[in-house]
Amino acid sequence: MKLTVHRAGCRGHADHGWLKTWHSFSFAGYYNPDRMHFGALRVLNDDSIQAGMGFGTHPHDNMEIITIVLDGELEHRDSMGNGSVIRPGEVQVMSAGTGIQHSEFNHSKENDLGLLQIWVFPDKKNVIPRYGQANFSEEEMNGKWRTVVSPDGADSSLWIHQQAWFSLGVFDRDTTIAYQLKKAESVVYLFLISGELEIGSETLNQRDALCIEEIESGVNIKTIEKSKILVMEIPL
């Protein structure tokens, strides 16, 4: 198994006042030729948005966009006619396909908003744009993996146009768990939302990430502290 650590402090960072953002891969003003993408995973942005602020209407095409709200409330509107508020525990997906426009704002006038926005290259281009949103309770991922995004919507997950599976899990300290691949020859990008854990000889802390390649069947994980983990299984 091949492991490559991406430390939280080594990410690209920009502070726009109303927006504080950390980029795991090259994005906007952050360019790192060694961090263009990992397999089909193109963008992982860790954003903190001030109350009442946000991104005005802007376009996307031919990308699968996944948003996971960690804290606060995200107000979303798009050219497909969707308008909603997304709260912690909820996940949003958009297949941009032939083209969409959308806006994203902090719905609250008082509290900051924290979210992960993730882009995945699609396995087919120029699809009809589509939108999905679902709530996944903490109980569903307490001590086990909860698949929240998949290629086929199995187990009430949201689906995207790619052979990719996103799973969330919350595990107590001193717990040994395994993640089993859904598809042979996939790679895994593990992002530690909170906590501390060990994989092989590597120790990860909050917001660290790990590229995992050459996986025989699964990945063994040992938590040091209570940990919330996002596992993204993607094609290389």
Give the mean pLDDT per block of 10 residues along the chain (236 residues). Answer: 97 97 97 97 98 96 98 95 94 98 96 98 97 96 98 97 98 98 96 98 98 94 98 97
Residue 1 lies in a domain: no
Does residue 4 sit within a domain?
A: no
Last residue of a domain, one of 110, 135, 160: 135
∠ Cα 60 46 119 (to 5°): 30
User: What is the domain range of residue 88?
Assistant: 12-135
Q: What is the pLDDT of residue 29?
A: 94
Q: What pLDDT sits at residue 28?
A: 94
Residue at which a domain ends, from 102, 135, 168: 135
Q: Considering the domain boundaries, does residue 2 fall inside one?
A: no
pLDDT in tens, 16-30: 999 999 999 999 999
For 19-39, give one letter per residue: b (16+ CB within 10 A) or e.
Answer: bbbbbbbbbeebeeeebebbb
Domain boundary among the residues 120, 135, 150 is at: 135
Residue 134 has a pLDDT of 97
Domain membership of residue 229 (yes or no) is yes
109 and 155 in a common domain: no
Q: What is the pTM of this model?
A: 0.97
Residue 16 belongs to domain with CATH number: 2.60.120.10
For residue 5, tell me if it sits in a domain.
no
Are 113 and 82 within one domain? yes
Give the bridge partners for 13, in sequence order. Answer: 22
What span, in angstroms and rounded, lies between the C-alpha atoms of 111 and 52? 9
Number of domains in the chain: 2
Mark whether 122 and 157 lie in a shared domain: no
Say whether both 202 and 228 belong to one domain.
Answer: yes
Q: Is residue 165 located within the same domain as residue 126?
A: no
Q: Are residues 194 and 93 in the same domain?
A: no
First vs last Cα of the chain: how many Å apart?
14
pLDDT of residue 113: 98
Asked whether residue 160 is domain-assigned, the answer is yes
3-state secondary structure of 140: helix
Q: Are 224 and 30 in contact (CB under 8 A)?
A: no
49 with 104, same domain: the answer is yes
* 110 occurs within a structural domain: yes
Q: Does 18 share its domain with 104?
A: yes
Residues 148, 125 within the same domain: no
Structural domain contains residue 7: no
Question: Which pLDDT belongs to residue 217?
Answer: 82
Task: Check whether residue 125 and residue 65 sit in a common domain.
Answer: yes
4 alpha-carbon distance from chain centroid:
18
Calpha distance 92→57 (Å, rounded): 17
